[in-house]
Structure 1
Amino acid sequence: MIFKRRDRRGPLTILQHAVYPKGGWARAFHYVKHRLNRLPDPPEKVARGIWAGVFTTFTPFYGLHFVVAALIATMIRGNILAALLGTFFGNPLTYLPIGIISLKTGHFMLGGRFHGAENSLLQAFLFAAQDLWANFGALFSDRTADWNGLRMFFHDVFLPYLVGGILPGLISATVCYYLSVPLIRAYQNRRRAARMSRWRVLKGRKKPADAGRGSD
């Protein structure tokens, strides 16, 4: 196949690059910033896409963040690609503090209290995914589906996370929006000025050549 990788990556390599990208997080950050700055849409539209992506990282829809970010960007008329790139605000270094803040805020808003250990957040989502898969398989076998675990997960984790992520998500996304607009506008203006400068240089070179042909 034309686009097939020459070096096949194993599961451990894929996991390693997910936690720590090849080249480091600094290189990954500069790549995302470069792609955002080169988007052709107006700065406000690109920034609205970033807003959608950052806000999405505060939702508990793990595995669906790209879809959720694209939907939000469509609703607020933001750049969809910027929304997808904006989801990189959530990464292995930030997901845990985002989750803990969202859960504690959600339990407080719902009148409860967060009793879970910080290192059990990922485990809770993994167990919920396993229960969901097991119950799905029960539909095609003689096993009985058990929804108690998922019911507890919804009330203890998912719902507080969903509610509690709204406020910090709005704050973080709005801060990123107002920081992005002037940066993107300045970059686009600089690129536009560079293109105009190159165009003037090419035009200046073309005039003597045209004059020489006219004299012949």
Structure 2
Amino acid sequence: MVFKRRDRRPLGRIVLEVLWPRGGWGRAARYVQLRLNRLPDPPERIARGIFAGVFTTFTPFYGFHFVFAAILAWIMRGNILAAILSTFFGNPLTYVPIGVVAMKSGYALLGLRGSEDHGSIGKKFVKAGEDLWDNFYALFTPDRADWNHLGIFYDEVFFPYMIGGIIPGIVAGTIAYYISLPLITAFQNRRKGAIKAKLAELKKKKKLGKQAD
């Protein structure tokens, strides 16, 4: 195939590059910033898209952040591509602190108390995944579906995370909006100025060429 990689990367290398991309996260962040600045849309729409993307990273819909960010940007009349790019705010370096803030906020807002009766958060993830697989398998066998661990996961992890992520998500998204808006505006103005100057230079050269003829 024409677009097939010639060098097949081992699984370990693929996982490593997900956690730490080539050139580091700083280079990846600069690439995202450049793409955002170059989007062909008014700064306000791009900034609203950035808000949607950053806010989405505080939700527990892992694996669907792109979809959720795009829908939210569409509702807000923001730039959808900017929203998708801005989900980069959630990455292996930030997901842990985001999760901690969201969970603590959720437990505080809902008046819940942390409990290890059903194991750690990691164990609850594992048990919920096992329930999903076992219940899917039960569709084709005489086994009965059991939603106990999924119920525990929803009550003690997913729902508190979802509720707790709203306020810090709004705060982070608002900060990102007000930081990005003037920066994108300035970049677009400089770019327009450079294009105008280039066009003026071309007109000048063209005029001098006609005079020479």
TM-score (norm 1): 0.92
Higher mean displacement: 5-14 or 53-62: 5-14
Matched, 1:44 2:44: yes
Tell me which residue corresponds to 1:80: 80
Change (3 A) 1:208 1:76: same
Tell me which residue corresponds to 1:131: 131
Tell me which residue corresponds to 1:59: 59
Query: Shift of residue 126 of structure 1?
Result: 4.4
Q: Deviations over 1:141-164 (max 9, x none)?
A: 333222111000000000000000
Higher mean displacement: 45-54 or 132-141: 132-141
Tell me which residue corresponds to 1:149: 149
Tell me which residue corresponds to 1:30: 30
CA distance in 2, matches of 1:52, 1:193: 30
Q: Deviations over 1:110-143 (max 9, x none)?
A: 1112346xxx545543442343233223212333
Query: Shift of residue 20 of structure 1?
Result: 0.5
Please say if residues 124 and 149 of structure 2, whose CA atoms lie closer than 8 Å, have aligned partners that are also in contact.
no
Change (3 A) 1:29 1:127: farther
Query: Shift of residue 23 of structure 1?
Result: 0.9
Tell me which residue corresponds to 1:16: 16
Q: What are the equivalent positions in structure 2 for 1:95-106 lying under 5 Å apart?
A: 95-106=95-106
CA distance in 2, matches of 1:133, 1:210: 77
Q: Which runs of 5+ in 1 are unaligned?
A: none
CA distance in 1, matches of 2:168, 2:150: 25
Tell me which residue corresponds to 1:160: 160
Change (3 A) 1:149 1:87: same
Query: Shift of residue 206 of structure 1?
Result: 1.2
Please say if residues 103 and 114 of structure 1, whose CA atoms lie closer than 8 Å, have aligned partners that are also in contact.
no
Higher mean displacement: 73-82 or 120-129: 120-129
Q: Which runs of 5+ in 2 are unaligned?
A: none
How well do the aligned residues superpose, as a CA RMSD in angstroms? 1.5
Tell me which residue corresponds to 1:199: 199
Higher mean displacement: 10-19 or 128-137: 128-137
Change (3 A) 1:121 1:196: farther
Query: Shift of residue 181 of structure 1?
Result: 0.3
Change (3 A) 1:149 1:33: same
CA distance in 1, matches of 2:183, 2:169: 21
Matched, 1:90 2:90: yes
Higher mean displacement: 60-69 or 12-21: 12-21
Tell me which residue corresponds to 1:70: 70
Query: Shift of residue 7 of structure 1?
Result: 1.9
CA distance in 2, matches of 1:17, 1:44: 33
CA distance in 1, matches of 2:121, 2:174: 26
Alignment-mate amino acid for residue 54 of structure 1: V
Q: What are the equivalent positions in structure 2 for 1:168-207 lying under 5 Å apart?
A: 168-207=168-207
Q: Share of identical aligned residues, percent? A: 56
Q: Deviations over 1:66-87 (max 9, x none)?
A: 0000010010011011000110
